[in-house]
């Protein structure tokens, strides 16, 4: 029996995680779920999975949430605040933590799980983008088991040989990691129409149903840029080891190319319950509720290179990856501010790349040797991005 904390339970990944868990009551029990704003959904999930604890990251939500919960038959204990988030990740009863809070807010609780040596199912890519080397050092130091949930990284993980040594592609005869991406909803939109893109259009991904921030990132391909950085840290890669390939059908979730010419791909319907189930059950396999691929209905299977003029954010993130930790922390923070401003109708879709580029240019490339420094650098980049947003507004 595995005992699990689900950070960000009310989100798209969180709900998919609870869906897979509910299919296997003999294997998994929920210790804690956490949520931020969607209190009705959090109460509904609590009734469904009866966790020991429910954590509200926003302490001000306590009375409204308690009133909601009192109308149910759920007797979970309600905790609030940042320390409670850390505590339900590091509690001795817990062996697995699903890290599915969106954005930089996910870093500290995920690190708490890492430092407590848990199995960490990493959906929150932003925490690795912000603090890559420090995060991976903590994984090694505390003997945590880090398993990628992002579909591409989960696919790469599945295509790597069992004797893969972190950062040593030659040892396993690997030539390249092929990171696939669909190109999002605007892959064939004329470039001159990009200024008029609305938040709802950007959030309507052709293949995946996801939270709004990652949906906008997928439309701008910043998501692939963040994933490029994530892959570097997860597998110990050099920038030249990774190639981004457009694959609009999202059937292949990423590939590993070997020196003998073989390419191993992981395929499946675009449904996050597959990587979630693999993370929960690794090294075994469990059913996830995802339909099998129907090859007779796969009409098309195409691949191309992402155009820099269409996807400037992808190339900015790859540039930041080469520049190092301070640059990736800064662009991640800038992007969070810019995407939120776009979703609030304050800036245009095309302004997201302008904010990201300027923050990247203006941020100091200092060495970040502690998480405190990472958070300070994140805060500086956020305030710079907010100034730029005000100018563009
Ligand atoms: P979502 O917006 O649907 O859910 C986000 C969750 O984070 C919610 O539970 C919300 O309550 C919580 N949250 C938001 N702000 C918070 C804060 N300040 N403090 C604490 N909790 C907060 O997002 P999602 O699509 O589920 O994505 C979650 C993470 O997983 C992201 O990092 C995303 O990049 C990653 N991811 C998502 C998918 C996907 O298919 N949705 C795929 C790969 C990776
Ligand atoms: Mg992904």
Residue 152 Cβ contacting ligand 1 at under 6 Å: no
Q: Residues 37, 235: contact at Cβ < 8 Å?
A: no
pLDDT in tens, 355-372: 999 999 999 999 999 999
> How far apart are the C-alpha atoms of 359 and 382, rounded to whole Å?
9
pLDDT in tens, 143-153: 999 999 999 99
- The DSSP bridge partners found for residue 273 are none
Tell me whether strands 174-181 and 252-258 are parallel, antiparallel or unpaired. antiparallel
H or E segment and range at residue 349: helix 349-362
Query: Residue with the nearest Cα to atom 36 of ligand 1?
Result: 123
In CATH, the number for domain 324-392 is 1.10.1740.10
> Closest Cα to residue 97, out of 78, 120, 80?
120
> Closest Cα to residue 360, out of 338, 393, 345?
338
Which ligand is nearest the CA of 149, by number?
1
Domain 2-148 -> CATH class: alpha beta
Query: Residue with the nearest Cα to atom 31 of ligand 1?
Result: 102
Q: What is the pTM of this model?
A: 0.97
pLDDT in tens, 5-50: 999 999 999 999 999 999 999 999 999 999 999 999 999 999 999 9
Cis peptide before 14, with omega less than 30 degrees from 0? no
Which of 123-157 are b and which e, b meaning 16 or more Cβ less than 10 Å from the residue's Cβ?
Answer: bbbbbbbbbbebbbebbeeeebebbbbbbbbbbbb
Q: Residues 32, 87: contact at Cβ < 8 Å?
A: no
Q: Could you state, in order of their start, the residue ranges of all structural domains in the chain?
A: 2-148, 156-192+225-297, 324-392
> How far apart are the C-alpha atoms of 359 and 351, rounded to whole Å?
12
């Amino acid at each position: 029996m595995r005992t699990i904390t689900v950070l960000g339970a009310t989100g798209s990944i969180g709900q998919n995680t609870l869906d897979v868990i509910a299919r296997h009551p003999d294997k998994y029990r929920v210790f804690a779920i956490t949520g931020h704003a969607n209190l009705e959904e959090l109460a509904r999930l609590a009734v469904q999975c009866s966790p020991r604890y429910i954590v509200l990251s926003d302490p001000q939500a306590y009375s409204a949430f308690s009133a909601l919960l009192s109308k149910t038959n759920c007797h979970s204990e309600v905790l609030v605040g940042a320390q409670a988030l850390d505590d339900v990740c590091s509690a001795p009863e817990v062996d697995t933590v699903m890290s599915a809070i969106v954005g930089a807010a996910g870093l500290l609780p995920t690190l708490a799980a890492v430092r407590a040596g848990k199995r960490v199912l990493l959906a929150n890519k932003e925490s690795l983008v912000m603090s890559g080397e420090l995060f991976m050092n903590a994984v090694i130091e505390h003997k945590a088991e880090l398993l990628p949930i992002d579909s591409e990284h989960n696919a790469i993980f599945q295509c790597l040989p069992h004797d893969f040594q972190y950062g040593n592609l030659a040892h396993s005869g690997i030539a390249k990691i092929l990171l696939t991406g669909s190109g999002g909803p605007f892959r064939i939109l004329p470039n001159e129409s990009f200024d008029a893109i609305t938040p709802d259009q950007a959030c309507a991904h052709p293949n995946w149903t996801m939270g709004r921030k990652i949906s906008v990132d997928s439309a701008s391909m910043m998501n692939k840029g963040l994933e490029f950085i994530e892959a570097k840290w997860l597998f110990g890669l050099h920038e030249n080891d990774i190639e981004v390939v457009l694959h609009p059908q999202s059937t292949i979730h990423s590939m590993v190319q070997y020196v003998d010419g073989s390419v191993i791909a992981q395929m499946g319907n675009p449904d996050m319950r597959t990587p979630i189930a693999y993370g929960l059950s690794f090294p075994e396999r469990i059913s996830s509720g995802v339909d099998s691929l129907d090859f007779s209905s796969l009409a098309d299977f195409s691949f191309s290179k992402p155009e820099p003029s269409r996807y400037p954010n992808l190339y900015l993130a790859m540039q930041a990856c080469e520049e190092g930790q301070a640059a990736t922390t800064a662009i991640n923070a800038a992007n969070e501010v810019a995407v939120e401003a776009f979703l609030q109708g304050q800036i245009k879709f095309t302004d997201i790349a302008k904010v990201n580029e300027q923050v990247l240019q203006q941020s100091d490339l200092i060495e970040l040797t502690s998480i405190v420094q990472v958070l300070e650098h994140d805060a500086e980049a956020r305030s710079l991005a907010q100034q730029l947003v005000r100018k563009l507004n």
